[in-house]
């Protein structure tokens, strides 16, 4: 969602169509939401409203190594790099990202070539929370990094327009 009262912001809150199945998919709270804000409905153990690019994406002592990232779309490069870094460190074993479709960019390519072979679910035009228009002005994709591709497909099939399997 755009921040309340700011039309020039690119901070969009994930819609219920993503938030509710995300909790179902992970069987409870997400371990870390590094790109949260005060209006977010993502349930997580750690929610960073600032510092997500610098802080670890895992609560010390927690076995929950899941993360959800819906980063500001104007600064994709550092967020893509941080996501790959957290997965390489082992802080994140499963990651779901909601991002704009940008296949001609280097950051997109870097994420698609990640060692965990991401699953891509291209979504319909999502309406973010508080969006009074007809939805995003761009195509979005849910990327999943992990081993439970079929469960991911099942949980999010209601917003799928096309997948990396070509359905």
Kindly give, in sequence order, each residue whose CB lies less than 8 Å from that of residue 66, ignoring residues fewer than 6 positions away. Answer: 26, 30, 31, 32, 92, 93, 94, 95, 96
Model pLDDT for residues 115-147, shown as the tens digit of each residue: 766 888 767 666 555 555 555 566 788 999 999
Residue 94 lies in a domain: yes
Domain count, the chain: 1
Beta bridge partners of 32: 46, 67
For residue 108, give the CATH number of its domain.
3.40.50
pLDDT 10s digits, 52-71: 999 999 999 999 999 999 99
Q: What is the pLDDT of residues 89-113, one digit of tens each?
A: 999 999 999 988 888 999 888 888 8
* Residues recorded for the chain: 167
> Is 7 among the domain residues?
no
Residue 24 lies inside a defined structural domain of this protein: yes
First to last CA, the chain: 29
Residue 58, in any domain of the structure: yes
Asked if the structure places residue 10 within a domain, the reply is no
Count Cβ neighbours within 10 Å for each residue of 153-166 and write b for 16 or more, e otherwise. bebbeebeeebbee
73 part of a folded domain: yes
| Residue 31: strand, helix, or coil | strand
120 forms beta bridges with 143
- Which domain does 130 fall in, by range? 16-163
39-53: pLDDT as tens digits = 899 999 999 999 999
Report pTM: 0.84
User: Is 27 within a domain?
Assistant: yes
Q: Looking at residue 166, what DSSP letter applies?
A: -
**Would 5 be classed as within a structural domain?**
no
**Structure confidence at residue 162 (pLDDT):** 55
Q: What integer pLDDT is reported at residue 100 of this predicted model?
A: 83
């Amino acid at each position: 969602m755009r921040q309340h009262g700011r039309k020039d912001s690119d901070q969009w809150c994930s819609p219920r169509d993503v938030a509710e199945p995300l909790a179902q998919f992970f069987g409870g709270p997400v371990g870390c939401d590094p790109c949260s804000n005060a209006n977010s409905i993502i349930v997580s153990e750690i929610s960073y409203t600032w510092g997500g690019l610098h802080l670890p994406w895992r609560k010390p002592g927690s076995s929950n190594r899941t993360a959800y990232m819906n980063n500001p779309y104007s600064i994709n490069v550092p967020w893509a790099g941080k996501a790959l870094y957290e997965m390489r460190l082992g802080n994140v074993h499963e990651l779901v990202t909601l991002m704009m479709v940008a296949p001609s960019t280097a950051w997109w390519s870097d994420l698609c070539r990640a060692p965990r072979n991401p699953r891509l679910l291209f979504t319909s035009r999502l309406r973010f929370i508080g969006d009074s228009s007809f939805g995003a002005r761009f195509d979005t994709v849910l990327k999943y990094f992990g081993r439970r591709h079929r469960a991911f497909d099942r949980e999010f099939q209601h917003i799928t327009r096309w997948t990396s399997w070509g359905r």
